[in-house]
Amino acid sequence: MAAFTLKINGREHQIDVDPGTPLLWAIRDNVGLTGTKYGCGVAQCGACTVYVDGQTVRSCSLPVSAVGKSEVTTIEGLTSKEAVAVQKAWAAHDVPQCGYCQSGQVMSAAALLGLNPKPTDQDIDLAMNGNICRCATYVRIRAAIHSAAKSLEG
């Protein structure tokens, strides 16, 4: 076990874990933020997506010891204008089915719009294909991202 200070959503959290603990479990079990989900544990489903210094990261694929002083953002701390637009569009399109994958979907969608304000269908597929949805909400996800992009135009 070792002591780590994680900066998550602007707050510092002291935790004592094995250095090889995936960030996902530190976020969920040690910090108690359970919006970030576990789906596969092997960087294949996207349910555990967070931002590390603003960049999307699968939190199951990163050990706590590699986080250092980086700023972690989880779904609970997502406040960018893209995120707000995505959340509104998600509600308008009634995107979630069971909801399990959705925090990862929203994290990836907001990150996409931050980097590419007018994504094409192909851009969306390339950005989102690492986020698996067992309820197959893909068509609504794509439509909602287009709506969110439109709403951000002004």
Partner 1 sequence: MRVVGTGTLALLAGSLAAVAIAAYPGLRRADAAPEAVRMAAGLKPVTDFARIKNKDERAVALFEEAGKVLQSPRCMNCHPAGDRPTQTDKMLPHQPLVVRGEAGMGAPGGLACTTCHHEANFDAARVPGNPKWQLAPIEMAWQGRSLGQICAQIKDSKLNGGKTMAQLVHHMAEDELVGWGWNPGAGRTPAPGTQKQFGELIKAWADAGAACPKG
**By the criterion CB under 8 A, which residues form the site for partner 1?**
20, 22, 25, 37-47, 49, 55-58, 60-63, 66, 98, 100-101, 111-116, 119, 123, 125-127, 129-130, 132, 134
- Residue 66 neighbours by CB distance under 10 Å: 13
Amino acid at 123: D
**Number of residues counted as binding ligand FES (CB under 6 A):** 23
Query: What is the DSSP track for 6-65?
Result: EEETTEEEEEEE-TTSBHHHIIIIIS---SS--S-SSSSS-TTEEEETTEEEEGGGSBGG
Backbone angles phi, psi at 7, to 5 degrees: -100, 110
Q: Does 100 bind ligand FES (CB under 6 A)?
A: yes
Q: Which of 27, 133, 144, 145 binds ligand FES (CB under 6 A)?
A: 133
**Interface positions, 35-94, toward ligand FES (CB under 6 A):** 38-41, 43-48, 58, 60
Q: How far apart are CA 95 and CA 122, in angstroms?
A: 19
Q: How far apart are CA 26 and CA 67, in angstroms?
A: 11
| Shortest distance (Å) from residue 87 CB to partner 1 | 19
Please identify, using beta-carbon distances, which residue of 72 and 111 lies nearer to partner 1: 111
Q: Does 96 bind ligand FES (CB under 6 A)?
A: yes
Q: Which of 21, 102, 103, 108 binds ligand FES (CB under 6 A)?
A: 102
Length of the chain: 154
Chain centroid, CA 15 distance in Å: 22
| Shortest distance (Å) from residue 23 CB to partner 1 | 10
Residues lying near ligand FES in the complex (CB under 6 A) are found at 38-41, 43-48, 58, 60, 96-102, 133-135, 137
